[in-house]
């Protein structure tokens, strides 16, 4: 059976895995690296549950062929949770009750992280746009949007990380 040897940076650490040539980034993260914080929802690029930052840009990891991540840098929710720059975002999600079942939460957090570091002034419209690719069946979105806005405010605006 053909295999693919892949070296990439995940959450600040160089990782090498041997996987299968058609693997998706999502498969490498969850199955090869055991980073199960990244969720699979639809598997078709529609729900955002599998969102990670690839070289700082939000992607749906279910749509990214692993081979395209050779030598690149990935941030997952595990890396986000360990990074003090995102502590205010996590705290805001807790305080606002923005997570219920939690399936969408990792993708929401990564989408919010991209927004908070983008230089865009995160008013409600910008937050809604940033999260437009992330579906939540539990919260009605209000608390999630409030949490991202609270995090932005506590960070001092658009680029307060």
By CB under 6 A, name the binding residues for ligand FES. 40-43, 45-50, 60, 62, 99-105, 136-139
Secondary element (H or E) of residue 53: strand 51-54
Cβ 137 to ligand FES, closest distance in Å? 5
How many C-beta atoms lie closer than 10 Å to residue 18's C-beta?
A: 9
Residue 32 or 159: the one with the smaller Cβ distance to ligand FES is 32
Residue 6 or 99: the one with the smaller Cβ distance to ligand FES is 99
Residue 14 or 68: the one with the smaller Cβ distance to ligand FES is 68
Closest CA to 52 of 10, 107, 93, 91: 107
Residue 85 or 128: the one with the smaller Cβ distance to ligand FES is 128
Q: Is 111 helix (H, G, I), strand (E, B) or coil?
A: helix
Cβ 134 to ligand FES, closest distance in Å? 8
Integer Cα distance of 105 and 114 in angstroms: 14
Cβ 142 to ligand FES, closest distance in Å? 12
Cβ 141 to ligand FES, closest distance in Å? 9
Integer Cα distance of 22 and 122 in angstroms: 37
């Amino acid at each position: 059976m053909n295999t693919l040897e892949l070296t990439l940076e995940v959450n600040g650490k160089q990782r090498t895995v041997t996987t299968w040539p058609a693997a998706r980034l999502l498969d490498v993260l969850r199955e090869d690296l055991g980073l199960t914080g990244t969720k699979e929802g639809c598997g078709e690029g529609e729900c955002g549950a599998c969102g990670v930052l690839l070289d700082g840009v939000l992607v749906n990891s279910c749509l990214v062929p692993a081979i395209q991540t050779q030598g690149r840098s990935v941030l997952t929710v595990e890396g986000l949770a360990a990074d003090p720059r995102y502590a205010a975002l996590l705290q805001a999600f807790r305080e606002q009750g923005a997570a219920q079942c939690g399936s969408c939460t990792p993708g929401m957090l990564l989408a919010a992280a991209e927004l908070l570091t983008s230089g865009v002034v995160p008013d409600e419209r910008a937050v809604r746009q940033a999260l437009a690719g992330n579906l939540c069946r539990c919260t009605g979105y209000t608390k999630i949007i409030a949490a991202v806005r609270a995090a932005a405010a506590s960070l001092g605006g658009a680029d307060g990380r």
